[in-house]
Structure 1
Amino acid sequence: MGRLTWIGIMVALAAGFSAGAVFGPVLMPRPGAASNPNLIDLSALPDELREKHRNEDFLRNEATNYAHMQEALAQRAAERAARAPLDLPNGMESVPFGLVYKPGGDVHWPEGMTGELGDALEAAKDGWVILNYWASWCGPCVHELPEMGKAAPLYADRGITLIAVNTDPMRKDTPDSARALFASKGIESLAPYVAEGTAVDQMMAAADMTMANVSLPTNIIYAPGGTPYAVFEGGNLSDSPVWTAPQTLAFLDVLAKGE
């Protein structure tokens, strides 16, 4: 089952309008000027951005940012391709989560969390935990939240805690906005935890992500004691069940029973 992922958002944002920037002595076509492929129309941009795009140093910097973005995305793609798939238990060939990988060496339990999020992590650490990373601008993340809300009590019955944490790297999401989003979607059995301030960086580090190398949604399965067991990424945009699918519950039953 295909799952969609938002990758490298901060690098992409840093590139700004680089992809549309064209070097040349004239950036705004003069009225009545002949069509020239080296000219672009910036009239739709706000005044501040339009003036910036007249500056050659700004354009060079944007082009450099774009090159860095491409390099970072290529590196991320190579790292993803090199990951070792998890050997599924009991001869299972697949699970609805999609491709499930062994965690990299830098993936670890998020330490130092405080407040309600810290309390939830501490209370769950002695059992199996699935930690979901999401943000409101991530379409696949938001789409699957209602099903995750339905899944949470099913997992709890199996001794598995599902925790969704908003880790918006741009720090635009807030506890109030997350609560409002959950309420609008009728999500009642899943708490809208939000990492704030330095907690965002700590959560990112636990998933082996950085502000310039972000993949959302990311999910980490931890064995009892906070030991990373598996990682899977991407979200489901279809209406087919994933988190509550019978195959998923069977997979989690095996984990919970230690088979």
Structure 2
Amino acid sequence: MFETHAHYDDDWYDEDRKELIESLLSSDISYITNIGADFATSENSVKLAEEFERVFAAVGVHPDDVDSLKDLSDEEALNRLRELAASKKVVAIGEIGLDYFEREAGQKNEEVRKRQKHWFMKQLELAKELNKPVVIHSRDAARDTYNLLKDFGYNKGVIHCYSYSAEMAERFVKLGFYIGIGGVVTFKNAKKTKETVKKIGLASIVLETDSPYLSPVPFRGERNNSGNIKYVVAEIADILGVSMDEVVEATFKNAVKLYELEDRVYGKLS
């Protein structure tokens, strides 16, 4: 199985990071992509990828972290990401995007959304410059995310932790994006996610956990890890009426294509 989105640099793994990753890569997990959310986590993702042969990295600044860039010019910030992306183990720019979720009382103001859109576009431009796919974080921002991607026209990547309607998923797929499905699909109340799986089928799905977050049933609320992907596989198989082996095979091929790893996975890994 190919874990397309995890955060093993998170503090939650400080006690057993190396042992856990080694055990995962010795079991059913063939590859892992560790995802950055700011400069520090992007740097840590690259370090992890360079430590483990079958771990890759994505580098980028999450929409909730764009304020960390306020003291840098656009070019200074992008140059730091360029330097990180120079590693051969970096396979994507991400996670980037828009997050309009109201974590505090009141609507996220337009100034915050404007900054998020600015850095979303700048990092999309960087991805296009470097010819790398993008890992998109989009929460409560379906219309703006879709319109910005459609208008920009550089459409290779994945919509991570997909949470919108099945119809919107079809629109993202038509642009050229894969849909990231993780532990949420196992939740009883995850009607939209289950409908999305049924609507788009295996051709456009990649597996993820977002570890250490979003553990599937029966581990909700606990620390997540990539070994729990098997519960996601089982749920997708049940929804589509196919075998778990079919889900694993199709999503593995999709992940390899998403991260443009055909030569390294099917040829000699380097």
Whose RCO is larger (CA < 8 A, sep 6+)? 1
**Higher helix share goes to which structure?**
2
TM above 0.5, one fold? no
TM band (smaller chain) = under 0.3
Please, what TM-score do these two structures have when normalized by structure 2?
0.25
Query: Larger Rg: 1 or 2?
Result: 1
Please, what TM-score do these two structures have when normalized by structure 1?
0.26
